[in-house]
Each structure stands twice: as structure tokens, then as C-alpha cells.
Structure 1
Amino acid sequence: MLHFGTDGVRGVALDELTTELVSDLGRAIARVLQPAAIVVGRDTRQSGPTIEAALIQGITAEGVPVHALGVAPTPAVAFVAERHDWVGVVVTASHNPWQDNGIKVFAAGGTKLTDAQQIEVEREWHAMTSVQSAAPKATVHDSQDLLQAYIDHRVSIVGADRLQGMAVVLDCANGAMSSVAPAVFRAVGADVVVMNDSPSGTNINAECGAASPSGLSSAVRAALQVDVGIAFDGDGDRLIAVDDRGTIVDGDRLIALAATDLADRGLLRNRAVAVTVMTNMGFHKAMDTHEIDVVITPVGDRNILLALEEQDLVLGGEQSGHIVHRAHATTGDGLLAALLLAEFVHRTKRPLSQHADDIMVSYPQVLINVKTTEQVFAPADQFAHEIADAQHVLGKDGRVLVRASGTEPLVRVMVEASSIDLAQQVAAELAAAVIRVCGGDIQVGSL
């Protein structure tokens, strides 16, 4: 049986994530959350229409009407849910390959589910039987027109034609942003070149987008003059940028730039920003220089959003490019973050490369995934002695993070150090210690 992870449910489409399971999950969502309606969207995976149909079948069997957006970015579904006080559900596996699919759920109003809501939905889901509810099926509305309201709102944040003369390259990952992002950037006046905007059902995230921005980097380098390059992931809730030189600008730098800009303009509420434990040490040093407080959370945008709510903050995000501008949205939105970044570069009349170079110095970071023979639940405690020894070797210019995956038997070892060689050495030693005790081996491609 599948379980909710840090951002919904995921599995191999139509194999692990079967239509029966999805239909039951739809019923569970409707029963537990009891919304007036549910808005549903999906990304561009081949399995999307089939899984969407099963989801809608389950929801309507419980008597809850559905507003179907069709292909739509995750933040667009959250936006519609916020505007109409509906529950939102997205059929997507985010940055995963096309063979996977998943379900993301937003509570009424477009916010992430609370822990209590998620637990209750999962409990109801796992207790489901094949007996359908006796309630009559509710109406399914073709609501693709609601997507335009999201587009119009994002344009209004920057202003129509405000970015005239700005050259932008968009890598849409052959995903849900393929038509939306180019339309928005053109509406704000940018000169737009688009790549990877032809979804086939099997090319989403395939060597493109935020998970593989090297193609975008090459395209920017090859162009005569580009101000900003933006790579989205498959469902559009995160981004990675490329500067005018073709250099990749990750989430840490993008958040640092946004935080200092908002602070300079008196818009960074409580002069603080929320980031996860994975955020580079260089970010923390930069925020200290600018006298901006940093709230640190566990990995996952749900934890970022919780920190924003509890601390009354307007900005947070992850190194991977999930960035939440809470003054404008209820969740991470790659398009919104891209627009605000482009507006910042245009307004300041300085190249993104200069901003990115000046804002922080990143420490070399090495991440090794150890695939263990069985699930490990508290590796930081289990390997406390080895971690302490590693931290002693690194000194004040390095740090160690050892954590377990919440969804599979993986131990993630992350080391930052003053040099890449030292980071690799210490990370390899910690990974070897995990393998000695827990078995398994290093996952291919994790170095």
C-alpha cells in the first residue's frame, strides 16, 4: 500500500499507483475533507488522463462536484482552490520520470494539508473497501477557463508590458508550464524563447527542466544576448535559473536574492526567511551579513509553509527551487518566482550574473545516497559518534547532515566543506560507515 510522503503520494503509474487505489483515494479525500467542490488538474504524463478519470470517479461517487482544469500547473490548481475555497487535487509526480505518477492534495483555500488532515485521509484511504458510496454521482464541470484567472493574476503582479526589452529563455520541461509560462512572460512584455514545450506524454522532465538545467545553460550560452533563463519542473511548482553567462543559479541563491531585495524595500515581514536543513552554509553567512534571520526546517515544502505560517513570514524555500512568496501565493510557484526574479533584474538594471556572484559564496556540497537493505529511521542518532568525528575534521567551515528518506530505504549523507576534496572524503567515509552497519550500497549517480 502506498503512503503519503513529503509531498503527496507517488508510485509507478498504473502498477503501484493503480486506478483502483486512485479512485479510493479520491473517495477518501472527499469523505474526510468534505469540501463544497474539488478542483482537479494534471501534468502531461501519458498516464495522466487515466489516473485523472479514476480520481474524479472516486470523488463524484461521494457526491462532491469536480471542476476539471485539464493540464494545469500545480500552483494554478492551488490558486483556483484559494479563490473559490475548494479543495485542490493534482495528478502529478513532479520532477519524477514519465513512468511515475502521483497525487498532491490541497486543503480548502489552497493550502497544504495539515499533518492531522493528511493522516486522516490516509487512514480512511487504507480502510477503503470496494463498496462504493450510495450517494449519487456529482457533476463534473469542464473548468479549463479557470486557468486564465491564474494567468491574469500572475501577470498583474508584475504588470502588463513591464518587462519590455528583456530577453528570457524558458525551459518548460515538456510539462504543465508548456503553454502557461510563455503566455505569461509574453504578456509582461518579455522577448521569449521557449524550449521543451512539446509534451508527448513520455518526455516530461526527460533531460530537461529544473532537474536537468544543463540544456538551458547551453542554450543561453549559444544565444547572442539573454537576460535570464528559467527551467521549470514537470508540474511547475519549482524552478532553477540560468544567468546571462549561462551559469546555473540554484534555489539558495534565488532565495537569498529575493530575501535581500524584499528586506531593502521593507517588505520582508519580520526580516526573516525560512529554509530547510539542506540549504548551503554560504546562504546562512549571507543572511547574517544582511542581518536577516533564518528559520530552519526539515526537508519538504510543507515544512517551509508551516514555518511561514507559524512565524508570520512571507518568503521561504528549498535549494531545489521550491520558492514560496506567501504574499502572493499559498504554495511554491515556479512561474511566480521566475516573474519576480525577472522583474528584480529588470528593475535593478544589473545582470543576474553580478547579483548571483555578489549575494553569496557557496560551500562545496557533496550528497551521497546509500540504499540500505532495510528502512533506517534515525541515522543521525545511530551514527552520532561518526558524525561528531566528521564534524571535528571539518571544523567551523563545514557541516554534516545524515538523514533518512521518508519513503524508501535510503540514508542521505550530505557534507559541506571548505574544499570539494575534503567534502568528498568525509562523505565517502560516512557512507561507508552506514553500509557497514546497515548493509546496502551507494546509489548510482548520487556523488
Structure 2
Amino acid sequence: MKFGTSGLRGLSSDLKGPPSYRYAKAFGLYLLESGKARKGARILIARDFRDSSPKIAANCTAALIDLGFAVVDCGTVPTPALALYGLETNSASLMITGSHIPADRNGIKFYRPDGEIGKEDETAITRIASSLGNENMDAQASAVTNEEEACRTLFLKRNRALLAEGALNGLRIGVYLHSTVARDMMVDVLTSYGADVVPLGRSETFIPVDTEAVSEETLEKLGRWAAEHRLDAVVSADGDGDRPLVADETGTVIRGDVLGLVAAQFLDAAVVVTPVTSNSGVEAAGNYDVVRTRVGSPYVIAGMEEAVAGGRDCVMGFEANGGLLTCSDFTINGHQVRALPTRDCFLPILAILSLARRHQKPLSQVVAFFNLPVAAADRLENFPIETSTALMAYLRRGRAELSQFLETIGAVAMTSDIDGLRVTLEDGRIIHFRPSGNAPEMRCYVEAKDETAAAALLRAGLERIRGWARAAAAG
């Protein structure tokens, strides 16, 4: 078990056993020790559609009841819906989800009554968990309050107030339902604004959808659906509904950082906090100040909180996966919308669809307007953590090692080591190597002048990683 870029992650087979009970108990003890909650306080629990999630939720429920908390079951709802309900009711919460990672893995996201936990909280919870043994646990069904409907209603109310009535009239939008807990709410919200919604690809088995590295199979589906149903867009989300997926009228996926830029324009943001992996064109694309961070919502949240503490207003953040976070209350469509400092997929989807509808332009033209460098990303799955650790140590050893590694790709001009290793080549192209914080995967991000060059650079980068791993394994 370990904390990644967002929440605790591990194998489903492990989390269905004592570790989930232990970490939930550690979280409860941390709340009590830090004074963030008292015995008898409410704690919310929700989950995604993975097969392992109900069992893990039962373990967590048992641990928290054993500590004297009143557990509230919020069912299968998106993570941002749970987080909003927790803020509204001043309740801590746990979301059982592995987000976008494969179905043989799962995780737990923890929220204090005032919002998502940070890195210091993670350290404290890990310390407490390590002091606990694999105690016997009673994970049988317990008498808990169910408030799934109230949680859903609050989130739907928020999203139905973001746009004017009929704001999406005339748009034909496909919703890729798969196994995301956001699917039914997404159909409901889009329909409420007048969109002609076409539900697609509902699945009763879990399908991992990574919005930063969309699979070839998913890309083929999006393109086929866009043409077959004459769609203006196809939208979806990852497993727990905090990362948006938007494809244009051709089925081409729109990068998450573009969705973030559109959301910044929609909100009229003054400060934008985003990780180093977001497009290098972000700074020049809008009238706001930009703060760059490491990858992961805790770092983006810390950057937003620092801006607010410094007296700034209209502060938001986004990640390269498209998840939007707000640290200020914003006035939208005449309504005050409270800050939601955790990733949300709904607002960025509504922002770009309403922009396209307002200007009567296809999504592809909306994206082209920003004229950003072409970016691409992918990952090597089942890449051992010890191998990625060794690779990063080699690349950081010195300029000679890095230059040798990139010899067939290009000459090194400058590097940034904020998170992973980001290399700007002498011809202006960018290649960024970073181990995943959530799973045994090695990620590669690139930027180039056009799609052909970006695709070639991405292929070359992934092949260099594979080649180095093969050589290292051979000794």
C-alpha cells in the first residue's frame, strides 16, 4: 500500500483484506488525534463500480464504526459529488476507487471535513497505519445511514446552475457510459441544458479509462461513434468521475490541459495552478498568473491555498488529465458556486461545450483557436517500480548519461526536475519522463510543432525506455 498522486493505491486482492481496515482506522485515529473530528461524528463513504469496491467499503465501514464514528453510505457517486457533500455537511469522507488504473488495483481517497487531505496528512496516516497490526475485523454489513440521494441531488443542483437554460440546445452529444460512476449524472445534466444526448457503451464490468493516455481501442470507438451518430462531441470520465474525457466532432480526444484553459476562461480566473506536465503554452494562453507544481492534486491544492493565503481571489487549478479544482467561490451564471478543491470532470465539460455552442463552432475549431504546441502522452504498463527508479537515477546522473540516452532523438538544451525529468531539446521539442505515482507504469509526455512530430517523438521516447529496460534486465 502506498499513497500516489491522489489517494492510497494497491492491489485489489490486498485491499479487500486487512490493509483497507487498517488504513481506514488510521485515518479515523488521525482525525481524532488532530482534533479534526470527534467520536460520534459523521463520516461519508462512497465507491466506484469495481468488483472489489463493496468489500473494501465494508472493511472501512467496520473500522470507522469500531472507532465510534457514524458512517454514512453515499453509494456509487462521483468523487467530486462526495467531496462537495462532505464540505456541505462538514463531514470527513472516503472514496473507494482506483480511478483510471486497471481493475486488479483499487484505492482509497481520504477527505477531511474541510477538504482533500494533503501530503502532511498522508505522512501522518501512514505513520499511524504502520503502528497498527492486521487486527481481526468484522466487515459484515452494519446498520449505517444511506444518503446517496441527498449527495446526488446536491451535486446535480450545482451543475444545473452553471449554464443558462437551453445553453446546449442544438448540440448532439454522445456520452460514453462504460463503468464510470458519473455516467447517469452526466446524461442528466447535459439533457437538462437541452442537448440531444446519445448514450453509448454502457458496461456492467469495470473498464479502466485513462484520460491522459487513451487506449487505441477507446480512440477507435470514439471515432466510430462520432461518425455513425453524427455527433458534435463525445464526453465521458474516468472510473470515479473526477477526470473528464472530451472528443470533438471527429472523435479526436481533446487534451485535458486544453479543457483546463477553457475552464479558466469560463471562470475568468485570476490565478491558475497546474502541474509541470500541462502544456507549455498555458502561460501565454490567457490573462491570469500561472503557478507550476509537481503532479498530483495535493500539490495543486497546496499551490492554490498558498495563492489564497497571499490575498489572491478567483483561484483555480487543473491537471493535465483535465480535472478541475477551485479554491475560491466563483460567481457563475448569476449564482455563487462554492469552492471545490478536488478534481471535478463536470465543469470543464460544460465549459467547452457551452463555448462551442455560443460561438457556433465545432470543437475542433475551438481547440485550434488556442494555437498551443501539440502535446501527446502515453505510458508503458506493468513497468516494475524498481526499473523506473533505476532509469530515473540514470537519467539524473549527469549530462553525459542523459545525452547518450537521447542521442537518437535530439540534443539536450535544458532540463527541469520538478517532477520526473522534463527535457527541452535544441530544436524546441519537449520530452518528459516520469514514473506514475499510482501504478507500476512509466509515463512519457511530449510537445512538438505538429501532430506528426509529436507522435514520432512519443514513439521514440517510449522505445528508448523499453530499450533501456531490456538492456538493464540483460545486465
TM-score, normalised by the number of residues in structure 1: 0.84
Query: Partners of 1:179 and 1:366 in 2: how far apart?
Result: 29
Q: Conserved in 2, the CA contact under 8 Å of 1:41 and 1:89?
A: yes
Deviation, 1:268, is 1.4
Q: How does 1:48-447 map to 2 (within 5 A)?
A: 48-109=53-114, 111-130=115-134, 140-146=144-150, 147-198=152-203, 200=204, 202-205=205-208, 211-212=214-215, 213-214=218-219, 215-224=221-230, 226-262=231-267, 267-269=268-270, 272-281=271-280, 283-284=281-282, 287-288=283-284, 290-312=286-308, 314-326=315-327, 327=330, 328=337, 329-363=340-374, 365=376, 369=380, 371=384, 373-374=386-387, 375-376=389-390, 378=393, 381-387=396-402, 390-392=411-413, 394-395=425-426, 397-406=428-437, 412-418=443-449, 419-420=453-454, 423=457, 427=461, 431=465, 435=469, 439-440=472-473
What 5-or-longer segments of structure 2 have no aligned partner? Answer: 309-313, 331-336, 414-423
Q: Conserved in 2, the CA contact under 8 Å of 1:65 and 1:138?
A: no
The residue that corresponds to 1:444 in the other structure is none
SS of corresponding position for 2:321 = coil
Q: Deviations over 1:48-78 (max 9, x none)?
A: 2111111101111100111101111111110
SS of corresponding position for 1:16 = helix
Change in 2 beyond 3 A, CA 1:174/1:403 = closer
Query: Partners of 1:154 and 1:56 in 2: how far apart?
Result: 29
The residue that corresponds to 1:22 in the other structure is 20
SS of corresponding position for 2:250 = coil
Query: Partners of 2:211 and 2:372 in 1: how far apart?
Result: 26
Q: Deviations over 1:303-353 (max 9, x none)?
A: 222222212353322222222244442211112221222222223332222
Q: Conserved in 2, the CA contact under 8 Å of 1:170 and 1:231?
A: yes
SS of corresponding position for 1:259 = helix
Q: Deviations over 1:90-116 (max 9, x none)?
A: 11111123232211111113x221222
The total of aligned residue pairs comes to 422
What 5-or-longer segments of structure 1 have no aligned partner? Answer: 442-447
**Which one is further off, 345-354 or 390-399?**
390-399
Query: Partners of 2:241 and 2:459 in 1: how far apart?
Result: 36
Q: Conserved in 2, the CA contact under 8 Å of 1:315 and 1:323?
A: yes
Q: Conserved in 1, the CA contact under 8 Å of 2:209 and 2:237?
A: no
